[in-house]
Amino acid sequence: MRIYEGSPRQDFEEVFRSIGAFLDQRGMREVLLAEAPDGFIVQGLVPSGGSTGTWSDSVGAIVKETLTFLEDDIARFMDEAIARRGAAPAGARAAARPTAGYYEAAFRVLGRYMDDQKPHDVFLFEQDGAFVVRLLLAGQTGSRHILAEFTREDIAGMIARGPALRHQEPTLGTPAPAGA
């Protein structure tokens, strides 16, 4: 998709938020996401839809699933997410508004971090709520990869600070979180 390579869409926050909402709906866990020229490849573990064995064979069964999201898919996810969030009237109490699932919220804050960095390529994986992100950044001396690690606590803190950042423009050069 290469968001920052000539594309008019430069919003990892909204793109990742929409992908995260889809993953929450699928019940996917232990996610790996890689950016491709025409979208994203996502792999993760999902509960098995059923089995031909006995009832006890299907309890707790999970399978690895690989999905490819093209730009058209992502645009549809974004439209659906905006429609879902807009379902509650503007003056409605926060409790009446739909709540984001873990991946929707986590991918949103990671997307904001990425927007600050303006990468040319994105790869991330998650395990037990913690994320490792690899970004390809272009600079005056050429391209280079950076790694950032976000613990479950880092993500929770970023989500908690999210509402205060909603109407601020992303800033360049945001330092990597502690432990990165």
Give how far the C-alpha of residue 12 lies from the chain's centroid of Cα atoms, to the nearest Å.
8
Q: Are 122 and 35 in contact (CB under 8 A)?
A: yes
pLDDT in tens, 40-84: 999 999 998 655 555 555 566 899 999 999 988 888 888 887 787
Domain ranges for the chain: 12-89+100-165
* Alpha helices (runs of H) in 86-174, residue ranges in sequence order: 102-117, 152-165
**What counts of helices (H) and strands (E) characterise the chain?**
5, 6
Coil, strand or helix at 102:
helix
Task: Report the mean per-residue pLDDT for the chain.
Answer: 81
> Which residue from 162, 157, 164, 163 is spatially nearest to 178, judged by alpha carbons?
157
pLDDT at 38 over 70: yes
Q: What is the pTM of this model?
A: 0.76
- Range with the poorest average pLDDT among 8-12, 37-41, 42-46, 132-136: 8-12
* pLDDT score of 91: 53
pLDDT at 36 over 50: yes
